Amino acid sequence: MSSPKSRHPATTFRRLVALLSLVAAPLAQGATTGDFQECVNELEHKAVAAGVSAQVANTVLARVEYLERVIELDRRQPEFTTTFADYLNRRVNARRILQGRLLLRQHQELLQRVTRETGVPPAYLLAFWGLETNFGSYFGKMSVPSSLATLACDPRRSSFFTTQLIAALKIIDEGAISVDQMEGSWAGAMGHVQFMPTVFLQHAVDADGDGRRDLWNSLPDALMSAGKFLQAMGWNREYRWGREVLLPADFDYGLADGGKRPLSEWRTLGLKDAFGQPLGTADINASLVVPAGHRGPAFLAYHNFKVIMGWNRSEFYALSVGHLADRIAGAGGLHTPPPEDAPALSRDTIKTLQLTLNERGYDSGQPDGILGPGTRQAIRQFQHANDLTADGYPDQALFQALGLETWTQ
């Protein structure tokens, strides 16, 4: 056995970094009950220092449990990407559209009140409600304090979830909900519209006048809070979220990653509305979103699309909210539905694609299995050079041209 002095300096440094990370990290995955309790004790001190009453901090944190399932869900990376067709069709379906239209009539007075105060139209409020909890049918069954304590005591995102836990304790402290009733998703999202605790503290309101901000049991509180949140993020009551458009046959798909342009400029480039009519000339900027390649739909996204993404950073989510809102309001289906025959590509397949593009001289960046802007740009460059439709979308023709046989997974 070698002595400490005989170890390679790099080995000694790595060991030191590992020891320091164990000291700095509140809790590593699979840590002991004692480690978790020590972390919870420290969280209690932080909560009291942040303004939570000692009684609530002590009472609630004395009951939290370490939830291994929460760590598993936090670590889980999807093996396969989700296609736009699968994502959209699961969330915007006939049953949800019908239910949304029924609720539009049932809660007309409340929804109109929220719209008057926030500028967010009723159909959008219902779309968020429908996507988040299927109109209140499922809030999640995890204890929010236990979930957040587990994540706060895990090194991966400890700071973020410590802040969320303290916010959750403040919500209990103000009397909005009891600890037994505070249930939600594994990551701590709560109530009809799945607010994280910090969002609750900043934007939840008491709309029914009972003295409590109750997003679990009060639909007025929940929908008004959703409207206030969207309003705070800059919702523009003068415009919709965006719209489906038709692209000319020779369209340059590189413009989809080119940022916003005036509507008049998109019109000059040959874009038309979903009915084949020229676009209007309203003084508004829009960006182009093509979520499924040249065979799928294309959308011009306005400012409110960005606001929707402030709620959830997924483009698929924002498109689903916008389309569901349109359908609830009475619009028909998409002129160009997303292709349903495109398979969900695995992360390993996308890594192989990235490696192959890099080897061919088309820089997709560090292979990570994620179809980001850099990879789409590399795909588009290869497609252009090989007389393929240069939409930046990995389709069967692309894989065949690259000599890859992993398309049909």
Residue found under tokens 């320091």: 20
Tokens representing 403 are 């000599």
Find the domain containing 383 and state its range.
Answer: 347-402
**What pLDDT, on the 0 to 100 scale, is given for residue 25?**
44
- Within-domain flag for 155: no
**What pLDDT, on the 0 to 100 scale, is given for residue 407?**
60
* Cβ within 8 Å of residue 349, ≥6 positions away: 406, 407, 409
- Within-domain flag for 182: no
What angle (nearest 5°) sits at the alpha carbon of residue 233, between those of residues 232 and 235? 90
Burial status of residue 345 (CB atoms within 10 A of its CB: 0-12, 13-18, 19 or more)? buried
- Within-domain flag for 287: no
- The CB-side HSE value for 355 (13 A sphere, CA atoms) comes to 10
- Within-domain flag for 384: yes
**What residues of the chain score a pLDDT lower than 50?**
1-30
**What pLDDT, on the 0 to 100 scale, is given for residue 389?**
94
Which among 242, 342, 261 has a CA at the least distance from the CA of 294?
342
- Direct distance between the N- and C-terminal alpha carbons of the chain, in angstroms, rounded to an integer: 49
Write out pLDDT tens, residues 322-373: 999 999 999 999 999 999 998 899 999 999 999 999 999 999 999 999 998 8
**What pLDDT, on the 0 to 100 scale, is given for residue 408?**
57
- Within-domain flag for 374: yes
User: How many domains does the chain divide into?
Assistant: 1
- Within-domain flag for 375: yes
- Within-domain flag for 398: yes
- Within-domain flag for 321: no
